[in-house]
Structure 1
Amino acid sequence: MKSSSDDNDDLLFFQEMADVQKIADLNQVVYLKNRPKVPRTIAAEHAAPENILTTGLLEIIECAQPLEYKQPGVQQGVLDKLRQGKYPLQASLNLIHKPVESCRQEVFAFFLQAQAHNLRTLLIIHGRGRHDESHANIVRSYLAKWLKQLDEVQAFSVAIAKDGGAGACYVALKKSAEAKQENWERHAKHSR
């Protein structure tokens, strides 16, 4: 049975709802206005660069062979210091248990971010496989291939034990044009 307070509540509710109208069916199509077209030259400047890293033919690196590379013209001392972990790490990327295509995308994005922030020394953790055909060693072999495809990579080397050992590698990047200019200005002031 309804009490008089329930009747009053119902009456108040219906009074409040008197001017409410039913919402139209939600099965309608909504057309949004087209965005204004941006001139192609401006759009090209802001577009992300195309990923140049390839996944084609792969030469698998044996698990026992340490990762190591330096571009022609890079001093052996740079590679030696890199191998010994003497450069301070500025960023790291973990690729463990990720699919190869995901690794390819992440390495390229990581490289672009490092360039944008003028970073010089990176750590990439790829994992360590027990045999040459293991997933970790496939990713490691691709990583060696990809790093050689990036012109800004001066050198890379297996990491020391505290940073991941054979399951990780250090990457040394070239100085950006801004960093070179800043370095030149700093040393030019001292030589006067």
Structure 2
Amino acid sequence: MELIIGPRLYSTWSLRPWLVLKRCKAEFTVREIDIYSPAGQAELEQISPSRLVPLLNVEGVTVWDSMAISVWCAERYPEVRLWPADPHARWLARSAACEMHGGFMALRNDCGMGPDHTMVGPDRSPPPKGEGVERDIRRLVGLWKEMRARFGAAGPYLFGEWSVPDAFFTPVAARFRHFQIDLSASYPPNSPEHAVPA
């Protein structure tokens, strides 16, 4: 089984399925492509139906897109319980992961990650400006709080136990740290939710 990705330090779509596969303790190899180079783009044209990463090659089949790979993992490794067992929690978890998968465009555009803005490291960028970013941040914080308040009592993750939404929101938490976005007013250090975005 081979996972084809861009650099995890700044390819958020690559990081998400990598985290899910690691959670499943799956045995897989990683092929990292320089998605920003002409050579990398040419390689993707040859191997990726969407010309994008990530891709999972397994049993002669290619599964592409981070959500599709996560769904595949949930089917292949049901014992890991990648989605909450409670049906109401599961509906919310899937809705939240899909919203992250296709939304928050202002935050993506204004707090982008690339070779000059990695998700980890000593350097930090100043907080972004703009109503669109502020709106996305408010929505994210509200969504995290809703998940924690309704279904997070059993543990430190968004739904208590680790699930796909934790993988999908991890890059957002990294962006918040990198761009020095202060969430202390929403998540006081002594609150049970504080560890989630941190």
Report the TM-score, using the length of structure 1 for normalisation: 0.25
State the structure with more CA Rg. Answer: 1
Going by fraction, where is helix more abundant, 1 or 2? 2
Higher RCO, 1 vs 2 (CA within 8 Å, ≥6 residues apart) = 1
TM-score normalised to the size of structure 2? Answer: 0.25
